[in-house]
Copies of this chain bind each other. A is one copy, B any other.
Amino acid sequence: MEKIKPRTLSGFMELLPGPQMQMNRIMDIISSSYALFGYTPLDTPLIEASEILLAKGGGETEKQIYRFTKGDTDLSLRFDLTVPLAKYVSLHAGELAFPFRRYQIGKVYRGERAQRGRFREFYQADIDVIGDGQLDIANDAEIPATIYTVFSRLGLRRFQIRINNRKVLTGFYAMLGLTEKSGDIMRTVDKLEKIGADKVRAILVDDLALTGEQADDILRFIAIRGTNGEVLAALETYRGRNGTFDEGLDELATVARYLGGFGVPEENFAVDLTIARGLDYYTGTVYETALLDHPEIGSVCSGGRYDDLAGFYTDRKLPGVGISIGLTRLFYVLGEQGMLNGEASTAPADTLILPMTGDLSAAVALSTELRARGLRTMLYTEAKKFKAKMAYADKLGVPFVLFLGEDEIAAGVVSCKNMKTGEQEKLSNAEAAERIAAYVAQQRSLPPIVEK
């Protein structure tokens, strides 16, 4: 028969079993952390009617969308989890309790130009809180507190959640009489880290026709640095000149204050006036998250406050605040940086039973006993030579091998080999199970990510 060469599409992450275990562990920690904060899990379809997904229009995104017809229906694959959330909340509003807090970890699709580290199918891990008409500012602090919990539990320490408020920025630009240009200015200032202050100033003056003085005022403003207290104090000196600015400053101060109460240490969040987020729909708090030792990879978790989640579907005003971890890209980067914890086992089982007899009855019974004790137990079934059996154990990286031959069966014991130490002992089933369980418990305490 003629063969078709198997392949996976470029831009689609397909992991080998070991890395997949690492990815799953990370996803488990993200979802359990999200759940800890009372977000409810959602799972919306990957396909939506195109008119729904594109209600807002798309611009750059629209070109990237996977769009097709089936029968006479115009369909698209979701390109983020926010538009499906907007649809969900407006469709089911009557049945939801507000504030509605949900998390969703799911694949989204964007037909980006294929290149290393860019994915066309990738996971986003989102949380959002949606209010009915209004939503308290405390939520803007709880969102980054959730992310702090996620990142800490993953094993990260050297990260910083950077927080700003769009009202502070728009209020500031209003003070300078630059309200109409504020969108363009923010998009320019957003590039500060990438292109540097000189180039930002050049764009402001040459392209946006600001005076040199205005450009310098802006650069001085966004250069405000220091502890969160110092930055907030510096902002206080602008108070009283613009209502929007004052409102934004109050919000920023409240968020910073509650963040402490949520247990987030100072070193993991920073009020940072350079953060603006390019997207127009953020209206208040905005977030970015940097891995401090890897500034080159940019923000790994971003979001913000928006006034109106679902204006395209409903007249109901639904303000919200949310954040999204670009999970597939983050996982890819962590792998590239060698930050996935090699001490954490990626074996599909805690123990592998290697029967040394033709009949497998005793091995089958042992597997059943170990599984009843909660141990992930693999039973080797093939009639191969000893060497092949051991090679199998090695390749899988199982921590414990249990040999079961005629002698062991007769004596009611197993030969338990610790594959790391090489130590081998005859033990009762219960003793072997205890030894393995102790290892599993110790493994569970290992974070999936390590910083070097």
Contacts and interface: CB of A to CB of B under 8 A. Distances in A.
B45 A313 contact: no
Contacts of A439: none
A138 B364 contact: yes
Nearest to A68: B68
Interface stretch (A49-57, A240-248, A336-344, A421-429): A49-57
A279 interface: no
Given A38-B376, A313-B5, A45 B138 contact: no
Given A14-B45, A368-B261, A6 B136 contact: no
A94 to B, nearest CB: 11
A20 B1 contact: no
A365 B96 contact: no
A371 interface: yes
Contacts of A134: 382
B38 A378 contact: yes
A360 B138 contact: yes
A315 interface: yes
B313 A3 contact: yes
Contacts of A257: 361
Question: Of A87, A136, A138, which is in contact with the most chain B CB atoms at under 10 Å from its CB?
Answer: A138
A383 interface: yes
A36 B138 contact: no
A102 to B, nearest CB: 7
Interface string A17-49: 100110110000000000111111111111111
A35 B34 CA distance: 23
A275 to B, nearest CB: 23
Interface stretch (A69-77, A171-179, A227-235): A69-77
A400 to B, nearest CB: 12
Contacts of A7: 49, 52, 87, 91
Interface string A80-116: 0000001110111001111101100001010100000
Indicate how many identical chains form the complex: 2
Contact of A14 (B88, B142, B261): B88
Contacts of A46: 46, 107, 121
Contact of A40 (B141, B142, B348): B348
A253 to B, nearest CB: 13
A139 interface: yes
Given A20-B41, A261-B368, A9 B73 contact: yes
Contact of A66 (B4, B70, B395): B70
Contacts of A149: 371
Contacts of A364: 138, 141, 258, 261-262
Interface string A58-73: 0000000010111101
Nearest to A38: B378
Contacts of A36: 371, 374-377
Contacts of A45: 8-9, 12-14, 121
A3 B315 contact: yes
A52 B6 contact: yes
Contacts of A262: 364, 367-368
Contacts of A109: 47
Contact of A378 (B4, B37, B41): B37
A15 interface: yes
5 contacts: A4-B313, A36-B375, A37-B376, A38-B352, A258-B364
Given A36-B377, A138-B360, A261-B365, 16 more contacts: A3-B315, A4-B51, A4-B312, A6-B90, A8-B91, A9-B48, A9-B49, A16-B95, A38-B348, A47-B66, A47-B109, A68-B69, A70-B111, A145-B368, A149-B371, A262-B364
Interface of A: 1, 3-9, 12-17, 20-21, 23-24, 35-49, 51-52, 55, 66, 68-71, 73, 75, 86-88, 90-92, 95-99, 101-102, 107, 109, 111, 121, 131, 134-136, 138-139, 141-142, 145, 149, 257-258, 261-263, 310-315, 348-349, 352, 360-361, 364-365, 367-368, 371-372, 374-383, 392, 395-396
Listed from nearest, the 3 A-B pairs whose CB atoms lie closest are A38-B378, A68-B68, A40-B348
